[in-house]
Every structure is written in structure tokens, then in C-alpha cells.
Chains A and B, each alone.
Chain A
Amino acid sequence: MPIISLENVKKTYYLGKVEVEAVKGVSFCIEKGDFISIAGPSGSGKTTILNMIGLIDKPTSGEVIIDDKPTSKLSDRELTKMRHQVLGFIFQSFNLIPVLNVWENIEFPLLIGETRIAPQEKKEWIDHLIEEVGLTEWKKHKPNELSGGQRQRVAIARALVTRPYIVLADEPTANLDSKTGEQIIELMKKINSELDTTFIFSTHDAKIVSIADHIIRLKDGEVIENVRKGEPQPAECR
């Protein structure tokens, strides 16, 4: 049972009169609990595809189905609600809220919408996540007092706090040195196996790609390779 499927998804950007076909009819399926890498050179369409899976951007045509739910006809409100409840995000440049400290940044998604969680349970859960990403001593610090690697750990904890079943990460290691980058990917992998959270991350670092169970390789807005656990995958889902 796939958790995400893309059906002939196209995305065209219009720059004045010039059309840029960023994604040229892409189809693939993603299984729940997988650790997926979307790989490809710069400009191949990684960010565009992740944004469409993340319901941040809408395809020009085609359908993104998440958890059996087609999303193309949903309103901005409904899409926002789905992003909040189903998805978690990790960004290349961390994107923490500068005026909130580590603990508050992680808490933030729980304060939006209709999240109902008992105060004590919330505190324990956030503290647990902080421990998981190794920042217990940094709880009260503001983002600008942290290193890049630490900031990305906060971002990971924030992405997980609503217990989403899909976490999207667009080049989460691009702003980190390679050693820190590897640690971040390892942390994501650890959480993936512990919590059974589906991770989809994009990268153009070959070393990081190799950790994934499922690799989708792009070039010029098209899928050129789709391999899961060593087996090539069909475009249509079973």
C-alpha cells in the first residue's frame, strides 16, 4: 500500500513569456516507512517535486495522492491543515523562527490549529525529542547561538513533534560540512527506523544517496532511475 503516489505530475513555470518545464510528467510511488532519496543534478527538479509532495506548491497538471487522498482540488485551508497534520518539513537553510528558543521552536507546530495535547505529555514529548537530537543542554538557546548542525537537529525535532508520518527534507545537508551532514542523515535514519516515519530527502551528494532504501533519480525534470531495495520500480503503484 503506497503512502504517496504521483500520477503524471507536470510543473511549468512561466517567466514572462518563457515557459520552463521544471517537471515533465513524473509518476512514482512511495511506501510507508521507507527512507527515500530524490537525487539529481542542480536544476533537475528535486525542489519542485518535494514542494508538490509537501503540498507547498501545486502541479500544473497530474495528481499527488497522499494517504489515498487526491490533493489537486483541495483549498489552501485544507492543504495547510494536511501539511500540519500529516507532513513534517526540514529545510536546507534550517528556517527556524529566530525569536523563539530551541524548546519553543520545537513546540511551535503544536500551538497551531486544533492540536490537543495535555501539557505534561507535551513537555515530556518535546524533552524526549530534544534528547533524541542531542540538544538537552541547548533548550533555552536562540537559533543564532547554535551551529548549523545543531540548528538542523532542532529542525528535525520540530518536523517530528506533530508525529507526522511523512517528513520531507530538501537538501538537509547542503549547508553543513560533510561530517555533520552525515551525522544528520544518520539521525534521520535512526528516527526512521525507530518511529517508522517515512523520510523523503533530496540531495546531490552520492555518499548520502547510498543510505536510502529507495532512490529516485531525476534529470531534466524526468525520472531516470527508480530503485527500491535493489529492485527497479514501475511508475504505477500496485
Chain B
Amino acid sequence: MKTHVTIALRNLTRQKKRTALLAIAIAFSVMIVTVIYGLTSAISVNIAENFSDILGGHIFITGSEKHGTSKEISRISNDQALRDALKASGINYSYVSSYSSTFATIIFEGKTTSLLINGINIKENENFRKRLSLKKGDWESILTTPNALIVPEKVAQTLNVEIGDVVIAKIETVYGQNNVGEFRIAGINYNADLVSQLSSYTHTAHLNEILGLLPGEYQTFAVRLPSLKETDAAAMKYYDVLKNYVQVFDRKTEANGAPMTGFQALLRSQKKESWEGVKYRLFTINEQLAQIQQFVSAADTIGTTVLIILFLITMVGINNTFRMIMYERIKEIGTMRAIGYQQKDVKRLFLLEAFFLGMIGMLAGFLLAGILMAIVSSINFGMENEFFILLRNGHITFNLQFAKIATIFIIVSILTLLAVSLPARKAAKLSPAQALGTEK
């Protein structure tokens, strides 16, 4: 076997230019797809990280109250049980925070738009201030304006508002009554994705007042973990313990039965379920950003399709080259057959050569992708731009899972071998007499 490998490898060096061209074609496809895979998965991580910075958590709990036939009230009046359960669960967390949020209709000079308003403890939440990138306005005036509202650029355009304008918000209180509140536009932030285009921020106290919540009450309890990666495992643990402290909505049926994206869940009124008192719902940033995961898997599908299309073109080149190789080495093949090479040995030699070509191409592709990713990720785009939510600290990042690299490796290997399988078969089937008799 060693000598067959040696022959295959040395054969590749016979026409260095041709081998290099094919390897470059393979490397190019591999590089593009590696970068796409790395980018999409990093984007999803970054969006989740940035949102968990803004919302101050990875795991969220909302509370619902119901008494008799009255409407469900979304609030957390006393979070002691939640805190106790968190301690008892033993999960390693960084800090907890709280916020309220509601959908509102915003009105300004006859123009209206719908928006999610998050009531955040802006003063204490330093991460929020670091992550939310302001296009207009400044944090100082936001902190000193009790009814400050930070809206995304897109919304500011739709409403045609500027810093200092006062808008009216129609909001349903937690008790189901209509209420109206005033907000002063104090910041306009960059927005890049769907979720941030629909989210605005104000001080918790102001929002709670309009929602009809008492001081000290809020809607969402957020647990910040040391890293995003721990989210799912920690949520599972927390949920299991929390069940022993308070009533909790079944996570499984909610997550699988009706895929709930957090923001929808906040609004959702529980249907004809017979329960009384206070019940809690636990969800994670990942579930909340399920659409982003869908975007990532769509982008990955595109990546795989691009790989296959680019590779189909490359395959034509590989196939042609190995057909040429067969004719160039016809006498050599005849000689090997005369000496005792079986048909399968000839075939194996072709496949080995193609396999090594694929390997060289792939290694070069991964290397080029690595270099490209290193260069791109070293560029600082700053925090104040439209794409900040896709970036991490102003940098494009890449995140490559081993499974993705394995996918590329398998696809490229299979397609390369497929591309040479026909010439390899043809070479194997050559009659030794004819192959030897060919004048060249």
C-alpha cells in the first residue's frame, strides 16, 4: 500500500501546474463555504450574545397570575422563590436582572407604528449601555429623562421623530385595560435585524407605571450566565428545580408543540387551561431568537448548495483531467497490468491520486479560509454602526464547528472520488495488449 500511495503522490507532481490549478479550484470552493459556515454560525452567536447583554440574561422567567375567570396578568410580584430556586439549582450564573416589556402602538403627529417597549434598569445595567449602539442622543440625557425612549433608526424614520420629540404610546395594562403614556425620544439606535427593528427601550419604572405594575413589580426575571454555551444545560437544570418551588408551564410542550419565540410568548394569553394563582414560564435566549437560528440554518443550506454547485463545476475539470491522465499514462497502465496489477489496483491508483488531490485542495482551502477569517476579524468596525448586533465588540467573528468542517470534508471527498470514478473504471478496463500497443 505504501508504494501505491507513493506512486499516487508522485504522479500528482508530474504536471505541477495542472495539479495546482485543480487544487486551487477545490481550495476556492472549500474556502468560500468554510467562511460562509463560520460567519453564519458566529452571527447567530453574536446576535444571541448581544441580546443577552441588552436584556441582561440568557435564561428568562415570566410570571402569570390568574384568579377565577378574570384575564391572565403578566407580572412578577415576588421573586424570592425564583431566587431561591436559582440558588438551589446550583447553576453557575453571573448576575440576575429584571425588566418589563409590552407591545405598544406609538403615535406621533398622525403617524403610528407598533413596537415592543422594554423597560430596562438602564442606570444599573452597564452592559446594556455598552451593547446598544446609539446613532443619536446620549446616555447622560437618557439617564436623566424619566420617560426616555430609545427607538431604532427604522422606527424613528417611520414616525419622523427626532431627539426631544414626545410621542404617545397606547398600551394595554397587565389588567387588560387600555392606557396611554407619554415618552420622550432620548436616543435613536442602530438596527440591523428584525428583532432589533421592533424593540425600543425605556426605564423600568416608567413602563411599570403605565402597565399598572406596582414599584418593585416587573415582568421578566433574567439570569445572566458566564457564557451563552451553557444556556440550554443551565435552563434545563433550573427548570427542574424551579418546578419544586412554584407552578411552572411545561417547557417541553411549549418548546416542541408550539414553537414559542419569547416575544410572542410574552403576549400570549393562556387558552382555557384550568389553573389558578401564579404560574411561571421559563425560556432561553435561544428560544427567544429562534428565527435567527432559522436564518442560520437557511444560510447554511445556501452554503452547502454553493459548495455543491462550485464543486460540480470543479468536478467537470477533475473528470476531464483524469481522462487526459488516462491517455497520457496508457502505456504505463498497460505495463503495470502486464506485470501483475489487477484492474482494481489500477482503479485504486486513480482514486488515491484524486483523493490526495482533494486533500491538498481542502487543506489549502481551510488554510486560506483561516487566513481570510483572521484578516477580516481583525478589522474593527466600531460599535456605532448598523450591524453592531451581528458583530462582537465591533468585529466580525467566525465560529466553526467541527461538524461543519467534517461536512465539507465528506462532501468534497465524495464528489472528488465520484468525478474520477469513471476515468478510473475506464483505465481499469483497458485491455493490456491495447494499452501496451498504443504508440506514444
**A contact residues vs B (CB 8 Å cutoff):** 47, 51, 54, 56-57, 76-77, 80-81, 83-85, 89, 91, 93, 95, 97-100, 104, 107-109, 111-113, 158, 162
Contact = CB atoms under 8 A, between A and B. Distances in A.
Contact of B433 (A51, A81, A85, A113): A51
Given A51-B433, A107-B3, A113 B342 contact: yes
A156 to B, nearest CB: 13
Given A56-B436, A97-B7, A99-B10, A81 B332 contact: no
B433 A56 contact: yes
Contacts of B433: 51, 56-57
A98 B342 contact: no
Interface in B180-232: none
Nearest to B2: A111
8 smallest CB-CB distances across A and B, nearest first, come from A84-B340, A99-B10, A57-B433, A95-B335, A112-B340, A111-B3, A56-B432, A56-B433
A99 B7 contact: yes
Interface string B1-28: 0011011001101100000000000000
B436 A113 contact: no
B257 to A, nearest CB: 60
Nearest to B340: A84
B340 A113 contact: yes
Given A56-B433, A99-B7, A112 B341 contact: yes
Nearest to A155: B335
Interface residues of B, number: 26
A97 B339 CA distance: 11
A111 B340 CA distance: 10
Contacts of A76: 343
B75 interface: no
A158 B336 CA distance: 12
Interface string B423-437: 000000001110011
Given A95-B331, A97-B7, A81 B14 contact: no
B3 A80 contact: no
B313 interface: no
Contacts of B13: 99
A50 B28 CA distance: 50
B338 interface: yes
Given A56-B436, A57-B433, A83 B7 contact: no
Contacts of B341: 80, 112
A158 B338 CA distance: 12
A75 to B, nearest CB: 11
Contact of B335 (A57, A81, A85, A91): A91
A83 B338 contact: yes
B338 A54 contact: yes
Nearest to B332: A97
Contacts of B138: none
B336 A97 contact: yes
A95, A100, A107 pick with most chain B CB within 10 angstroms: A95
B14 A80 contact: no
Contact of B339 (A47, A77, A99, A108): A108
8 contacts: A80-B343, A83-B338, A84-B340, A91-B436, A97-B332, A98-B14, A108-B339, A113-B342
B58 interface: no
A104 B338 contact: no
A162 B436 CA distance: 21
Given A97-B335, A100-B10, A108-B3, 19 more contacts: A47-B437, A54-B338, A56-B433, A57-B432, A57-B433, A77-B342, A81-B342, A89-B335, A89-B339, A93-B331, A95-B335, A97-B336, A98-B332, A99-B6, A99-B7, A100-B7, A109-B339, A112-B339, A112-B340
Nearest to A77: B342
Nearest to B337: A80
Interface string B153-179: 000000000000000000000000000
Contacts of A77: 342-343
